[in-house]
Structures are given as C-alpha cells and as structure tokens.
Amino acid sequence: MNRLLLLATGGTIAGCAADSATLNDYTAGVLGGDALLAAVPQLQGLATISVEQVANVDSADLLFEHWRALVDRIRGAFAAAPELAGVVITHGTNTLEETAWLLQLLIDDPRPVVLVGAMRPATALSADGPLNLLQAVQVASSPEARGHGVLVVMDGQIHGAERVTKLATQGVGAFASPDSGPLGWVDDVGVHLAMVSGPRQVPFAGLDLPEQWPQVPIVYGCVEPEPLLLSVCLNAGVAGLVFTGTGAGQLSVGECRVLETWAGPRPLMLRANRCGSGPVHRNPEDERLGLLPAGSLNPQKARVLLLLCLIAGLDRASMADRLIQLELLN
C-alpha cells in the first residue's frame, strides 16, 4: 500500500459548530488530523498515512512560520523517505491557493503534494470534508499525479496551484481555475488526470526561508482611489508591493504620480488585476514607475512570488527573468 504523509493545518475541514444545521457560525481548526482520518474509514484500504499537526488555525491566521514549517517538513520527508508516495495537506479554504502556489515555487520533487479543504464544518449535515479528503488521498497516491506539482482537490476537481482560486464564499464548488479549468477529476472510478512528461520549473527549489519575512502589502485600485495608501506604504519602507489595478492592471493618474515623484528607495512592485481572470501584460510605463506585470497571477499569488523574490535577494530585472521562466511574462 502507498505511504503518505498528512500535514494538518486547520480550517473549516477541521471546524466544529454547535449543531449539524449550522454552516456559518463555527470554529475552524478544532479537530486534529487524526480525527479527520478517523472520520473516513475507507482511507484504510487506500494508503498508510502518518499524520503531523503543523497548525490548527483558521487559514486567515496562518503565519509565515507555518509556511516555513510546511516547506521544511515536506522537503525533509521527501529527502528522507524514497518510499513516500506523496503529501496531503488539510487547509482552510480562504488562503489555500496562496499556500499551494508557495509550495509549487519551492518544492522540487515529482511526487504529488495535494492540498484539500472543505466549505462546510466537520459537524455539518452533508459535510464535504470527508469525501474531499478521501479524494485528495486518491490523487496523492496515484501515478497520474506525479510531476504535476502542487495540486488542489476540492469537490471532485483537481486543480493546478498556479491557476486555482476560491471564487465563492458559499457552496462546495467554490474553487475554480479561471482561463484554464481544472487539470482533471477524481471519483470512485479513479483519478482522471493526464500523465506529465518532463520536469517542471521550480524557480526557488534551493531557497531557504528566513524567520523574518519582508513586508509586502497589496494596494487595491478603484474609482477615485486614495493615493495616500501608496504613499503610506512607500514611506513605511516596504520591501515589496503588489498593486491590484483596475481592468488589465491599470493605475490611476494620481497613483502614477505618487510612484513618479517618489524619491526614496523603490520597492519591488508587481502589477496584478482585480478582474479575476485574464493576463496583465507589459506596459510602456512600467519601466519608469518601477513596476512589472504579474501575468495571470491574482494579487495574492503575485504577493507570494514577490515575497520569494525578495527573500532570494532579486532585483527588478531578475524578477522579470523568473516571471519569464514561469511563462507568466514574455
């Protein structure tokens, strides 16, 4: 039988409410990973799973130190155990895509790392966590999942870390991969995922994560934006900044002026968009303002990439190279 490692971090999948009809008023991150496995006896026939509790929090409260612990643990487990088939991570859905993308950029191993969560607490009528967990284990144990990088399994769909996002606050089908769709599906018949040939790009494979991470705020564009927000970030000396522009990542005249007239050290900056799908391309103004387009990355994933670029000590030109390497920019 396949050997898997389950790293539990909390979330609604481990959440409890006062009664089974309560779907919104619950506490996330209550049950441990052992209890999640115990709720799905069918797993015993699928894989031998060892459990480690990395955190037990609502994913809004996840910290960089949890990310560091996850990365260290996954790298260590893959290095120490050639017989390990893959890793499953239980996670709150609100920031699951950020963790998935972080791991995609850092973990260089063909064995699958699969993130899974739930939209309903474990105590709910028709809780989605148990089936999602069963399906995540199916995917993590399957040969088809090898080489795909970090995957997200929710509601029978298998998504890639780069595109997947949470698109709805309610409902078990809250995840999607805009522009591309899911990579595949999983059901009781099996894992329906095309085999991958060849290695993938892991631009930060050797990067060690520090205890102290840089500050990277996200500023959001809108009608008559408050340019003060950008100024506050620049004056605070942030190391990086993601600008969530309107449309294809556009800044207002006022915001451009703040960047143009800024005389201090320029943070590393990415320009994402607030549309939910579609790319942000290069713009003639980018060079002058010190910006780079984030391609198809949503703002929260652009921030993850920017954090790693800063930790790696990259400047704007080398960050552009990484974006090109990841085919986010041409």
Interacting residue ranges for ligand ASP, rule: CB under 6 A: 11-12, 28, 58-60, 92-94, 117, 119
CA contacts within 13 A on the Cβ side of 322: 24
Nearer to ligand ASP, 28 or 103 (CB): 28
Q: What are phi and psi of 312, to 5 degrees?
A: -80, -5
- State which residue, 119 or 259, has the beta carbon closest to ligand ASP: 119
Question: Minimal distance in Å, beta carbon 156 to ligand ASP?
Answer: 17
Q: What is the DSSP string of 239-284?
A: SEEEEEEBTTTBPPHHHHHHHHH--SPPPEEEEEESSSSS-B---T
CA distance 15 to 275: 31
Least Å distance between CB 35 and ligand ASP?
Answer: 16
List the one residue out of 254, 265, 258, 267 whose CA is nearest residue 316: 267
| 140: amino acid identity, one letter | A
Residue with the CB atom nearest ligand ASP in the bound state: 92
Measured from the CB atom, is 48 or 169 closer to ligand ASP? 169
**Please, what is the minimum distance in Å from the beta carbon of residue 158 to ligand ASP?**
18
Minimum CB distance to ligand ASP smaller for 94 or for 283 = 94
Name the minimum Å distance from CB 84 to ligand ASP.
26
* Separation of alpha carbons 232 and 124, rounded Å: 43
The catalytic residue positions are: 12
